[in-house]
A and B are shown apart, each in its own frame.
Chain A
Amino acid sequence: MDIGSHVITLMAALILVVQLLMTAQRQLPTSIRLFAIQSLLLAAIAAVVAYYHNASHVYIVAGLTLAGKVFFLPWLLNRLVQRIQIHQEIEPLFNAPTSMLICGGLTLLGYVVARPFTSLERLGNNTLPVALTLLLTGFFLMINCRKALTQVLALLTVENGVMLAAVAVASYGMPLVVELGIFFDVLVAVMVLGILVYRIRETFASMDTSKLNQLKG
C-alpha cells in the first residue's frame, strides 16, 4: 500500500462521514455546505488518482468537479434558498436516529455488495463500497426528504457516488467524453430542477413534493 492509497482511503472514509452527517442534518444551508465539502473531497481524490497514475484527463475531471460542485452549484442552491426564503424545516419522513440506523444498514449492504469486486480496485480498498453507499444513502435521502430542494441535494450526492465509482474503479476514470456528459447532465438537471422548485413553490405555496399528487387526474 503506497501513500496514495492511504490518502484515498482516508478521504473516502471522510466522504462517508459527511454523507451520514447530511442524513441527520435539518438545516438546509448546512446541508448545502456539507455537499460542498463532500464534492471537495471527491475532487481531491480525483486529483490524487491523476497524480499517482499520470492520467492527465482525470485532472480535468477534478477541475470540473471543483468548479462545478464545490463553487457553482452550492452558490446556485444558496441563492435559491434565499430567494424562496426558507432556512430550516427539512421535515424528514423518519426522525434522525431512525434514519441514521437505516443508513448504517445501507452502508453494510454497500460493503457486502462490493466485496466480490474489491480485487478490481487499484486504489485503496474502500472506494467502491463507499461509492455504493453514497448511491444507496443518497437514494434514501431522496425518499426521506419531502422538500424539493433537499431532493435535489440528495440527487447530487448520488451523482457524487457514481463519479467516485468511475474515478476509483473503472481504470482511472471513464473516457473523458462520458464523464463530461455526466457532468453537464447534472449541471443542466440542477438548473432545471432549481427553476422547477421555484415554480412548485409559487404554485403550491410550498416545496413539499408530496402535495404533487394533487396533479393526478
Chain B
Amino acid sequence: MNMNDFSATLLTCALGAYVAGIVGALLFQRAEKLANGVGFGLAAAGGVCGIFACASSLATGAATASQSFALFPSLIPYVRFGLRADALGCFFGMVVSLLGVALSIYSLGYVRGYYGHKNAGVLGAFFNLLLLATTLVFLADNAFFFLIAWELMALSAYCLVSFEHEHAETRNAGVLFFIMSHLGTGCLILGFLLLFQASGSYGFEGFHALGDKMPAARRNVVFLLFLIGFGVKAGMVPLHIWLPAAHPVAPSNVSALMSGVLIKTGIYGLARVCFDFLGTPPNWWGVTVLTLGTISAVLGVLYALMEHDLKRLLAYHSIENIGIILMGLGAALMFLHSGHPVLASLALIAGLYHTLNHAVFKALLFLGAGAVLHATHTRNMEDLGGLAKRMRWTTLCFLVGAVAISALPPLNGFVSEWLTYQSLLQGFGTTTSLIRLMFPLSGAMLALTGALAAACFVKAFGVTFLGQPRGDHARQAREVPFPMLLGQGILVAACVFLGLFPTVFLKLFDPLTRQLTGQQLSQQLTMADGLVLSGGPAQGGTVSTPGIALMLLCLLPVPLTLWALFARRAGTRIGPTWDCGQRGLTPQMQYTATGFSKPLRMIFKALFRPRREVQREYDFSPYFTTTLRFESHVEEVFQTRIYRPLRWLVLRASRRLRALQAGSLQAYLIYIFVTLLALLLFAL
C-alpha cells in the first residue's frame, strides 16, 4: 500500500510537470530560448517521474492491486477524472515516459532550428499536452475520462502535425489525420456505449470480463467497433493511410512521439478491450487480428521499400511493426480461445515487448532522420549520401536503430520477434483444425517481413549515410548539437539493454499477465540466471543475446590475428574506395535508392503496378542523348482502389443531401419539430 501511494504521488508529479510545461512554454513564448528550455525541460522531468512511478508499481507488484484515485474532484455529474495505475496501464505509461525523457532532451536541440521563424513556445506546449493526454489515456479508469483524454490526444497531435502549416502538404496531411482519427473515435464511442448498456456504469472495473455476460452478436459488434476504432489509431492496414501522410510532415521529435507512442494507444486499447473487457474470445477474433497483423506487416515493409523519403519510409515501417505486434495479440487471442493460457501469455508478452522495443528503436530512427533533416534540410534520400563522414555520432545511432529494427541479434528487435516466432511455432500444436495452418503461414510471413526490413534498412542507411554526397545540402552537413545526440544516445542505450537483458524486463510483465491471463511466465522464460531466454514451457527454443554479443566480441580479434599472421608482410596501398582503379568517381555513379529497390519492385509487380516514363531527346543518334527525363511511380492500391472511390461516393451523397439545407429557418424548425413528433410517437 505504501509503495502504491508512492507511485501515485510520483504519477501526479509527472502529470503536474506536463501541465506546468504547457503553461510555462506558453508564458515565455516571446523568449523562445526560455520557452524551449522550460517547456521541454519540464517534459523531461515529467517523463523521469513517470518512469519511476510506473516501473516501481510494476516491479513491486503494486500495480495488480491498484486502487483508482480521483485526480481532482469532478464538477460535472457522472464524469469522474479517475486514474487507475493497473499493470497494463503502467506498462504503457512507462513506454510513454521513457520516450518523453529522450525526446524532450533531443527537442532542446532540435527546436533551435525553428528559432526566428516558428513559435517554439507553442510547439513545447502542444508537445507537453500530447504527453499529458497520452499518459491519461493509459491510466484513465472510466470510459468518459478515457474518451476525453483520447480526444485531447488526437487534437494536440493534429496541432503538432500541422505545425509547419505553411506547406500545403502539411495541411492536407493534418486534415486527413483529423478525419481518420474522428472516424475511429466515433466507433469507440459506440463501442463504449454498448459496453455501458451491458454493465450499467462507465467504470473500467465494471467492464472487466463483461463480454461473457453479453449476447454473442452484440459482443461481436463491440469487438468490431473497437477493432476499427483502435485500428485507425494504430495504423492497421487498411486503415493506415493517414500514417505515411502525417508522420513525415510533423516536426521530427513529434514524428518520433507519434510513431513511438501515439499509434501504440491503439494497441493499448485493443489489449485492454480484448483481454480485459470482452472475456473469452471466439476463434475468429484471433484469426482476424492475426490476419490483419500479417497483412500490415508485409504490406508495410513492401511500401517502405519503395520510399525515397526518409521519414515516409520510417512511417511505413511503423505499419509493419504494428502488424508484428498485432500478430502477437492475435495469436494470444487464439490461444485464449483454445484454452492455452500459458501460450497466450507468451504471445501477449511477445506483442507487448515488441511494442516497447518498437517505441524505442523507431523513436531512435525518427530522431536520426530528424538530425539528418536538421543538418541538410531535406528528407529525400536521393539528395543525401556521405553523411557518415560528416555526422559520425548520428550515423552510429541510426545504425544501431537500423540493426534493431531489422531484428538482428543481439539488439531488442530480435528478442521480441524471436518471442513472436516462438509463440507462433508452438501454436501449431494447439488445435487440430485446419485453422492451425495460420500459425506457420504467419511465421513465414514474419520471416519475409524481417528479411525485407533488413533490405530496406540496407538501402536507407547505405544511401543516406554512405558513399558520396549527392547534393550540396548533404555536402555541407554538420554534426547536430549535443542535446540531440544525448536524446539519441539514451535510446541507443535502451535498445542495447532491452536486447541484452530481456530477462530483467520480463519480470515487469508478471503483474500484467497475471492481470490479463492469470499466468506468470518470467520464471519459465528465464534460464541460467537470466542469461538465457527460453521460448516457453513445452517445446520452445532457447536463445541468449548476451551469449551472441559475447561471441561477436570474441570473433572480433580473429581477422586481426589472421592479418597479423599472413598479410602483414604484403605491402599496403591506400586509395579511394570502390573505384576499381579508375580515377574520379562521381556521385552520379552511385547506386540510387530507386535502383536498389528495383528488383523487389519487379518481383512484387502485381502489387505495386510500377509505371515509368522515359523521355529522351537526341540530335542524330539515340546513343547521344542530349536530355533525358525519367519518372517512376508506384501505385498506392489502397488510395486508388478503396479511398478514392469512397471519397467520391461521400461527396456525391453530400451533394444530394445539400438540398435539405435550404437556408430557411422555418424549414430547419420543421425538421426539428417533425423529428420530435416522430420520436414521441415512436415512444408510444
Which A residues fall within an 8 A CB radius of B? 93, 109, 112-113, 136, 139-140, 142-143, 146, 151, 209-210, 212-216
Contact = CB atoms under 8 A, between A and B. Distances in A.
B76 to A, nearest CB: 10
A83 B670 CA distance: 30
A210 B673 contact: no
A196 B672 CA distance: 22
B683 A146 contact: no
Interface residues of B, number: 16
B666 A113 contact: no
A102 to B, nearest CB: 11
Nearest to B668: A143
A212 B680 contact: no
Given A146-B666, A215-B663, 14 more contacts: A93-B666, A136-B676, A139-B672, A139-B673, A140-B673, A142-B669, A143-B669, A143-B670, A151-B665, A210-B665, A212-B663, A212-B664, A213-B662, A216-B663
Contacts of A93: 666
A139 B670 CA distance: 9
Given A212-B665, A216-B663, A143 B684 contact: no
Contacts of B661: 216
Given A109-B677, A113-B683, A213 B664 contact: yes
A216 B667 CA distance: 14
B670 to A, nearest CB: 6
Interface in B611-670: 661-666, 669-670
Contacts of A113: 680, 683-684
A143 B666 contact: yes
B682 to A, nearest CB: 11
B654 to A, nearest CB: 15
Contacts of A136: 676-677
A106 B670 CA distance: 14
Interface of B: 661-666, 669-670, 672-673, 676-677, 680-681, 683-684
A214 B669 CA distance: 17
Given A213-B663, A215-B663, A139 B683 contact: no
A142 B672 CA distance: 11
Contacts of A151: 665
B278 to A, nearest CB: 36
Nearest to A93: B666
B663 A143 contact: no
B673 A143 contact: yes
A112 B665 contact: no
Contacts of A210: 664-666
B78 to A, nearest CB: 13
B669 A139 contact: yes
Nearest to B669: A143
Contacts of B683: 113
Contacts of B664: 210, 212-213
Contacts of B673: 139-140, 143
Contacts of B663: 212-216
B680 A109 contact: yes
Contacts of A142: 669
A109 B661 CA distance: 29
Contacts of A214: 663
A141 to B, nearest CB: 10
A214 B665 CA distance: 11
B680 A139 contact: no
Contacts of A109: 677, 680-681
Nearest to A112: B684
Nearest to B670: A143
A143 B663 CA distance: 14
7 tightest A-B CB contacts, nearest first: A216-B663, A213-B663, A209-B665, A143-B669, A213-B664, A139-B673, A113-B680
Contacts of A212: 663-665
A109 B676 CA distance: 12
Nearest to B683: A113
A143 to B, nearest CB: 5
21 contacts: A93-B666, A109-B681, A112-B684, A113-B680, A113-B683, A136-B676, A139-B669, A139-B672, A139-B676, A140-B673, A143-B669, A143-B670, A143-B673, A146-B666, A210-B664, A210-B665, A212-B663, A212-B664, A212-B665, A216-B661, A216-B663
Contacts of B684: 112-113
A212 B684 CA distance: 36
Nearest to A110: B680
